[in-house]
Amino acid sequence: MRRKKQNVVFIIILMVVSLVMLFFLIMEKKRQEGDKVLIYVNGTLMQEVSLDTEDEILIHGNPGDNVLVIQNGKAYMKEASCDNHVCIQQGEISKNGETIICLPNQILVEVSAENQKMDAVVR
């Protein structure tokens, strides 16, 4: 009798742990998917661009200009007037919260998933 009760408790704990893990997996997946990029120059939001588009965007930085490419749901810095080209080396970004920073031109590109959060609320 006592043994049976222990088994039930064990199964309940296992189910709760599984559910919690599933919940975190879903949250992690949601967090990772971005749907637009925010372009900041000198700390000011200059432009919002959807990651669904295919586009080349000329960013008027301070003092130089950069070219950001959006393709296949990803964004990367194609051209930059800065000396070190660290921003180009940062590669592609597509996940929520990922950034490309060009310090010499004071440009910050950040992936955001604001629309997806709204979708979740509507559903």
- Give φ, ψ of 86 to 5 degrees: -60, -35
Stretch that binds Zn ion, among 10-18, 38-46, 82-90, 109-117 (CB under 5 A): 82-90
Per CB under 5 A, 82 contacts Zn ion: yes
* CB of 37 or CB of 87, closer to Zn ion: 87
Per CB under 5 A, 102 contacts Zn ion: yes
Per CB under 5 A, 51 contacts Zn ion: no
* Amino acid found at 86: V
Residues in contact with Zn ion by the rule CB under 5 A = 80, 82, 87, 102
